[in-house]
Amino acid sequence: MRLLLNIIWLVLSGFWLFCAYVLAGLIACVLIVTIPFGIASFRIAGYVLWPFGRQVVDAPGAGVASGIGNVIWFLVAGLWLAIGHIATALALAVTVIGLPLAWANLKLIPVTCFPFGKRVVKSRDLAHAPVPVQY
């Protein structure tokens, strides 16, 4: 089922969102200082291209630099990319087949707005990960 959803996603919206993230990454890589933003954009582009069967989790060891990077990212690119996800979700929600794809678009918005301190993992790897004990 995930393969079918990913193929439909790729055709209907994934390719265009992928192109938007790659464009944002290329623009960010023009200046040496913003290369980390370009790398984050490329990482999200891979996730946007094939999202079903993968999840975003917090990266261990993310600190203050990730928080500062997220604020800058949100102001420069995250807000605009999130608007693209909302517009795509609204267009996909018109049909019954597009409803799961619209929901996936909305699930991408948090990582779109705040990509630093996050990583993309396969869902099956996450299911086998040990659960940390919290006291």
Indicate whether 72 belongs to any domain: yes
Indicate whether 27 belongs to any domain: yes
Indicate whether 135 belongs to any domain: no
Indicate whether 132 belongs to any domain: no
The per-residue pLDDT for 135 is 44
Indicate whether 128 belongs to any domain: no
Number of domains in the chain: 1
Cβ atoms of 9 and 51 within 8 Å: the answer is yes
Residue type for position 52: F
Sorted by sequence, the CB contacts under 8 Å of residue 99 that are 6+ apart come out as 92, 93
Give the model confidence (pLDDT) of 87-135 as tens digits.
989 998 998 888 988 998 998 999 999 999 888 888 777 666 554 544 4
Give the model confidence (pLDDT) of 37-95 as tens digits.
999 999 999 999 988 888 888 888 778 888 899 999 899 888 988 998 899 899 989 98
Name the band, by pLDDT with cuts 50, 70 and 90, for residue 18: very high
Indicate whether 33 belongs to any domain: yes
The per-residue pLDDT for 122 is 83
Considering the entire predicted model, what is its pTM? 0.79
Mean pLDDT of 15-27: 90
Indicate whether 15 belongs to any domain: yes
Cβ atoms of 82 and 62 within 8 Å: the answer is no
The per-residue pLDDT for 133 is 45
Residue 30 has pLDDT above 60, yes or no: yes
What's the residue count for the chain? 135
Domain that holds residue 68: 2-123
Indicate whether 67 belongs to any domain: yes
The per-residue pLDDT for 54 is 87
Measured CA to CA in angstroms, residue 135 lies from 61, 63, 127, 128 at distances of 19, 22, 22, 22
